[in-house]
Amino acid sequence: AQSVTQLGSHVSVSEGALVLLRCNYSSSVPPYLFWYVQYPNQGLQLLLKYTTGATLVKGINGFEAEFKKSETSFHLTKPSAHMSDAAEYFCAVSEVLTGGGNKLTFGTGTQLKVEL
Amino acid sequence: KAGVTQTPRYLIKTRGQQVTLSCSPISGHRSVSWYQQTPGQGLQFLFEYFSETQRNKGNFPGRFSGRQFSNSRSEMNVSTLELGDSALYLCASTRAGDRSAGELFFGEGSRLTVL
């Protein structure tokens, strides 16, 4: 079964600083990987996804992630943090289910705090 | 295009009661999944429906059930509520057919509090 590990349940950065949120995955097949963001009292919004092809994936709000198969990693970065980036971020891997269809296995999430 | 709509957004129940949550997927999406989110267990897969059939089920007791209607709308039901059922219940929809459908589109959730 697939699994996802997010290192650091809380990350704090200064506004304008680099954001780096770490995600490592375990998958027996080539993975489909996702980053979602959740603002307070809201659902999950897709930031970006890796399926096949280019290993550097660009998403919304200036975020990007690089798929590194050798390191089984899919870290999320943003060059310059903004106050509006404060939220919880979830890394997820897609798993094809025996009944057909997919489910996402999520990491435990990283709460990003952005300070002035 | 309207997103995934979940109702109600907030509700309070007492132990032993039952609750029904509703989800309307994005138009054209035929697969609907449900997830439970709690501080302790994180995001956990409940079940997934496609063409009115439950295709997959997570590791939850039988008190948790659901169904899907011909218009792809889905409901989930929790019977004999326990305190531990307090959670944010998230519905997600996707096009079905290929593995890239692993991209899920989530609603804002129904926050259930059990007293």
- Condensed to tens digits (0 to 9), the pLDDT of residues B41-50 reads 999 999 999 9
CA geometry: angle at B80 spanning B77 and B82, to 5°? 100
Q: How far is A109 from chain B (nearest CA, A)?
A: 8
Mutate: best of B26, B43, B45, partner A, most A CBs <10 A: B43
Reported as a single tens digit per residue, the pLDDT across A3-29 is 999 999 999 999 999 999 999 999 877
pLDDT value of residue B102: 64
Question: Would you say residue B98 has pLDDT above 60?
Answer: no
Quick one: what percent of chain B has pLDDT higher than 90?
A: 81
Average pLDDT over chain A, rounded to whole?
92
Separation of alpha carbons B17 and B99, rounded Å: 38
Q: Which residue of B has its CA nearest to A109?
A: B42
Q: How confident is the model at residue B107 (pLDDT cuts 50, 70, 90)?
A: very high
Interface-testing mutation among B99, B100, B110, with chain A (most A C-beta atoms within 10 A): B99
**Which of B31, B96, B107 is closest, CB to CB, to A43?**
B107
Give the angle B61-B57-A51 at the CA atoms, nearest 5°.
Answer: 140
Query: Which pLDDT belongs to residue B38?
Result: 96
For residue B17, the distance in angstroms to the closest alpha carbon of chain A comes to 24
Interface test with chain B among A44, A93, A105, by most B beta carbons within 10 Å:
A44
Smallest CA–CA distance from A35 into chain B, residue: B103
- Residue A101: which of B43, B48, B106 has the nearest Cβ? B48
**Residues A21-53 pLDDT 10s:** 999 999 877 788 999 999 988 899 999 999 888
Q: Which residue matches tokens 């506004």?
A: A15
Helix or strand (DSSP H, E) at B14: none
Look at A94 and B94 and tell me if their CB atoms are within 8 Å. no
Question: A61 pLDDT band (50/70/90 cuts)?
Answer: very high
Q: pLDDT band at residue B1, thresholds of 50, 70 and 90?
A: low
Return d(Cα A72, Cα A69) in angstroms, integer: 5
A96 and B99 within 8 Å at the Cβ level: the answer is yes
Percent of chain B with pLDDT over 70: 93
Average pLDDT over residues B35-40: 95
Q: Where are the beta strands (DSSP E) in chain B?
A: 5-7, 10-13, 19-24, 31-38, 42-50, 53-57, 64-68, 74-78, 87-94, 105-106, 110-114
**Highest mean pLDDT (candidates A102-111, B12-21, B48-57):** B12-21
Question: DSSP letters of A47-102?
Answer: EEEE-SS-SEEE-GGG-EEEEETTTTEEEEEESS--GGG-EEEEEEEEEE-TTSSE
Nearest residue of A to residue B45 by CA position? Answer: A103
Q: Is B42 on the interface with A (CB under 8 A)?
A: yes
The per-residue pLDDT for range B48-93, each reduced to its tens digit, is: 999 899 988 999 999 999 999 999 999 999 999 999 999 999 999 9
